[in-house]
């Protein structure tokens, strides 16, 4: 019993002259703590937590919206780029087609023109040839007449005395016909 | 065994009691305990007013003054912070610091511990966190005093937490539903006489643990620092000075961590208990 009472004495002994233990509860402090804390809670709730938390959520929403918007814009841009690519390919194809078409057209035109000019040239050559032939024949006929005349004249001159002119012309013509054939 | 020999124990205890009476340990307690004056020695001592109301001593004590100091600091800071948000949503300076803590309390404490409907308890948790944090840090500045190393303060804060937990649970589940939900589902009837007292006891042990944890953590660090520095005077030698100073410095740094940690733990556990009371199905 003695031991226990001494132990209790030790536990509850207040060291030093000032006394007091960390476990002492002062009712005044309890009251002031309640007052202070409740006052702090009310005042901070009004002036701080509401506006600050609102601002924070506002900013978070703003960031979220901005990110979503940026995402959307990027998707749109990507779509636009894809569209552009498609239309670019299309345009290129179109251009190729047009070039091909015009090349074909040019080729066709070329061959046409070439054929045209060839045939014209041929025609011209033919014309020229026939003209030349005609002229030749004409000239030949003229020459033949002239040669005949000259020959006849010469023969007339030579054979004036012994031969009749008409007989001689007939003879010469006969020879010339033979020559021709 | 020593217990079989009461004489030895009696002697030892007697010596210890004598020693306690003889040796003046109040110089350590002086720094930890509440006081009726603000001790700014060697510059002077400010005596605080003594008040009485209905026979209760409601004098302003050192810890009360430091609670008020915390209150003033918090109010001034948050008026400034709230105003800076009005100017622009981009935080800067002090706003950055408080925002980190506010977002921490919101996203790391309130949201995960309470879950759905955490917004209603957020002002309480934020106030509790910042109040405890500021009180803890005020004890680390020279001439400062830790209001949270007073068991009356921590017990009161824990009782406020207790009220918030119970009222929160009752508001969500109804008074009857709340008490019904305290006992887990699917318990056999014959276990109820055991379960009901256990669960009721559990309600009160939670705030009790909150109060003791905060009080002990905030008191212990200061006592250890005082004891380490006291080694110099007890051993009467300068040789121990570097050891004392470096160890005390280490403990001091540890106390900075503890100040943050205890504010976090108190808030987190409050949130956890609120979450348990509000969402009883888990």
Distance CA B99, CA B256 (A): 20
Distance CA A76, CA B234 (A): 78
From chain A, the residues in CB contact with B153 under 8 A are 29, 33
Question: Is the pLDDT assigned to residue A176 strictly greater than 90?
Answer: no
Q: Residue A59 and residue B13: Cβ atoms within 8 Å?
A: no
More confident residue, B134 or A16: B134
Distance CA A6, CA A8 (A): 5
B82 interfaces chain A, CB cutoff of 8 Å:
yes
pLDDT at A15 (0 to 100): 45
Q: In the structure, what pLDDT confidence band is assigned to residue B55 with cuts at 50, 70 and 90?
A: confident
In a domain, A2, yes or no: no
Distance CA B195, CA B203 (A): 12
A140 interfaces chain B, CB cutoff of 8 Å:
no
Distance CA B167, CA B161 (A): 10
Q: Which of A94-108, B47-61, B214-228, B250-264 has the lowest mean pLDDT?
A: B47-61
ipTM over 0.95 threshold: no
In a domain, B48, yes or no: no
A46 interfaces chain B, CB cutoff of 8 Å:
no
In a domain, B227, yes or no: yes
In a domain, B25, yes or no: no
In this complex, the residue of A9, A15, A29 whose CB is nearest that of residue B152 is A29
A157: Cβ contacts below 8 Å, ≥ 6 apart = none
In a domain, A4, yes or no: no
In a domain, B46, yes or no: no
In a domain, B13, yes or no: no
**Count of structural domains within chain B:** 1
The 10 Å Cβ neighbour count of residue A55 is: 20
In a domain, A50, yes or no: yes
Mean pLDDT along residues A133-144: 85
B23 interfaces chain A, CB cutoff of 8 Å:
yes
pLDDT at A64 (0 to 100): 92
Question: Is the pLDDT assigned to residue A69 strictly greater than 70?
Answer: yes
In a domain, B10, yes or no: no
pLDDT at B22 (0 to 100): 62
Residue-wise DSSP of A121-162: HHHHHHHHHHHHHHHHHHHHHHHHHHHHHHHHHHHHHHHTTT
- Mean per-residue pLDDT over chain B, rounded: 82
pLDDT at A172 (0 to 100): 80
**Count of structural domains within chain A:** 1
Q: What is the pLDDT of residues B92-111, one digit of tens each?
A: 788 888 888 888 888 888 88
In a domain, B5, yes or no: no
Q: Which domain holds residue A86?
A: 29-180
pLDDT at A74 (0 to 100): 94
Q: What is the pLDDT of residues B186-196, one digit of tens each?
A: 777 787 788 88
In a domain, B246, yes or no: yes
Distance CA A170, CA B10 (A): 194
């Amino acid at each position: 019993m003695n031991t226990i009472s001494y132990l209790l004495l030790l536990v509850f002994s207040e060291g030093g002259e000032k006394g007091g233990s960390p476990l002492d509860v002062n009712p005044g402090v309890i009251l002031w703590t309640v007052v202070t804390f409740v006052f702090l809670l009310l005042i901070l709730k009004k002036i701080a937590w509401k506006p600050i938390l609102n601002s924070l959520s506002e900013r978070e929403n703003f960031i979220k919206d901005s990110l979503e918007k940026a995402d959307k814009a990027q998707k749109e841009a990507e779509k636009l780029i894809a569209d552009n690519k498609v239309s670019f390919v299309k345009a290129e194809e179109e251009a190729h087609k047009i070039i091909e078409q015009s090349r074909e057209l040019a080729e066709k035109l070329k061959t046409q023109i070439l054929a045209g000019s060839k045939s014209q040239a041929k025609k011209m050559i033919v014309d020229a040839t026939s003209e030349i032939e005609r002229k030749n024949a004409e000239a030949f006929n003229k020459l033949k007449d002239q040669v005949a005349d000259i020959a006849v004249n010469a023969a007339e001159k030579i054979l004036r005395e012994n031969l009749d002119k008409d007989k001689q012309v007939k003879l010469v013509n006969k020879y010339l016909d033979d020559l021709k054939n | 065994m020593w217990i079989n020999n009461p004489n030895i124990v009696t002697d030892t205890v007697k010596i210890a009691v004598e020693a306690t009476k003889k040796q003046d340990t109040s110089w350590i307690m002086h720094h930890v305990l509440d006081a009726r004056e603000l001790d700014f020695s060697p510059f002077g001592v400010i005596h605080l007013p003594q008040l009485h109301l209905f026979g209760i001593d409601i004098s302003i004590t050192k810890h009360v003054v430091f609670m008020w100091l915390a209150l003033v600091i918090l109010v001034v800071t948050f008026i400034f912070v709230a105003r800076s948000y009005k100017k622009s949503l981009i935080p800067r300076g002090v706003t950055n610091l408080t925002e980190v803590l506010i977002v921490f309390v919101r996203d790391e404490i309130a949201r995960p511990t309470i879950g759905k409907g955490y917004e209603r308890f957020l002002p309480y948790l934020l106030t509790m966190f910042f109040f405890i944090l500021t009180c803890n840090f005020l004890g680390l500045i020279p001439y400062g005093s830790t209001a949270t190393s007073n068991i009356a303060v921590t017990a009161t804060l824990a009782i406020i937490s207790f009220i918030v937990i119970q009222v929160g649970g009752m508001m969500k589940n109804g008074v009857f539903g709340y008490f019904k939900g305290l006992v887990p589902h699917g318990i056999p009837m014959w276990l109820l006489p055991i379960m009901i007292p256990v669960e009721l006891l559990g309600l009160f042990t939670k705030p009790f643990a909150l109060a003791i944890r905060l009080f002990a953590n905030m008191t212990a660090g200061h006592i250890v620092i005082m004891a380490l520095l006291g080694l110099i005077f007890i051993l009467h030698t300068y040789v121990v000075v570097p050891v004392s100073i470096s160890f005390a410095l280490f403990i001091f740094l540890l106390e900075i961590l503890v100040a943050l940690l205890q504010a976090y733990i108190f808030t987190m556990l409050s949130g956890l208990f609120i979450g348990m009371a509000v969402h009883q199905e888990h």
